[in-house]
Amino acid sequence: MGDLLNCVGNTPLIELKSFSTRQVRLFAKLEMFNPTYSIKDRIVLHILTQAKQKKLLHPGATIIEATSGNTGAALAMMSALMGHKVILTTPEKTSRAKVNAMQAYGADVRISPASAKKGEPEHYISVAKELHSSTPDSFMLNQYENPANIEAHYLTTGPEILNQMKEKIDYLVACGSSGGTITGVGRFLKEYLPEIKVVMPDPVGSVYYSYFKTGKIDKNVIQPYAVQGVGKDFICGCMDFSVLDDIVQFKDQDAFDSVKKLALQEGIFAGGSSGAALYAADLLIKKIKRSANIVVIFPDSGLKYLV
């Protein structure tokens, strides 16, 4: 017997048999089985627990964070359980379903224009930082730069995958936005399985692909894209490119088509970032000419995007 927070993590990992071949087997880590239906429950629980232990988060304090939605929902839920007021900032492309969920948990949600660029006062991260500095007794998770984001996945998601796969993994495919998931899981798995290859899908319009290939930030590649929770128009502190072996670019339609295939062929209704990960994994399957196991991480549920 325990509370809802005991339900975070230990999510199922299953084989996607309609995508596996005779030689290459594809397995999916289903993070929509967390309490708020996304992988972000892991980092929020870890950061809040750590903050309380270090006395950075006091009873009655206001919690503030910039989010594209999933971290916000997790934070709003846990803040409600812990008795904290929460203020969340998010870009206007965030789905209505995600905003509704954050508000249902009692969060004060501030929406920033999608046109606002990183560093501008109206950008959702800038708004969160200003609110944090102007709100007495407030705490900000700072998920994009906080190493505890990486640590959460190094300590939980990575070990779970290793155990569930009985240490037989050749490739990891996972999306990156803040970078915490792929850095934490990839770093952990490479310590145990040095030969594993880590592949990240990145949307056309994000800076990560060009930065990985050239080592430089090319602002000319930045353009709007629809898939949420993937890529960025700046380099997040939690994104460790040394963990990656390759980045695969995808277009919005590639991700959304893969979401449909996943639902029709496997009965799994996942979000667009899961579609992106599946698209990259499917390309990988077609390239591999030997026996191999691929693990793909599906970050959230498609139910978060219906409105």
- Tens-digit pLDDT profile for residues 6-38: 999 999 999 999 999 999 999 999 999 999 999
Confidence band for 139, pLDDT divided at 50, 70 and 90: very high
- Summarize pLDDT for 77-109 with one digit per residue, the tens: 999 999 999 999 999 989 999 999 999 999 999
Q: Are residues 105 and 19 in the same domain?
A: no
Q: Are residues 297 and 245 in the same domain?
A: yes
- Identify the domain boundary among 140, 172, 187: 140
Q: Are residues 54 and 115 in the same domain?
A: yes
Q: Are residues 20 and 158 in the same domain?
A: yes
What CATH code is carried by the domain that includes residue 126?
Answer: 3.40.50.1100
Give the residue with greater pLDDT, 211 vs 307.
Answer: 211
Q: Are residues 12 and 46 in the same domain?
A: no
Q: Are residues 47 and 35 in the same domain?
A: no
Domain limits at 109? Answer: 40-140
**For the purposes of burial, counting CB atoms within 10 Å of the CB of 196, is it exposed (0-12), middle (13-18) or buried (19 or more)?**
middle
- Identify the domain boundary among 106, 140, 174: 140
Q: Are residues 159 and 190 in the same domain?
A: yes
- Summarize pLDDT for 141-193 with one digit per residue, the tens: 999 999 999 999 999 999 999 999 999 999 999 999 999 999 999 999 999 99
Q: 249 pLDDT exceeds 90?
A: yes
* pLDDT at site 300: 98
Number of domains in the chain: 2
Q: 2 pLDDT exceeds 70?
A: no
- Whether the CB-CB separation of 74 and 40 falls below 8 Å is answered with yes
Catalytic residues: 40
Q: Are residues 53 and 16 in the same domain?
A: no
* pLDDT at site 1: 43
Q: Are residues 56 and 105 in the same domain?
A: yes
Alpha carbons 87 and 51: distance in angstroms, whole number? 17
Q: Are residues 26 and 108 in the same domain?
A: no
**Percent of the chain clearing pLDDT 90 (strictly above):** 95
57 residue type, one letter: L
The helix-helix angle for 70-82 and 40-53 (nearest 10°) equals 40
- Whether the CB-CB separation of 14 and 293 falls below 8 Å is answered with no
E-strand spans in the chain?
A: 13-15, 24-30, 62-66, 85-91, 108-112, 138-140, 171-173, 197-203, 246-250, 292-298
Locus of tokens 């993070």: 31
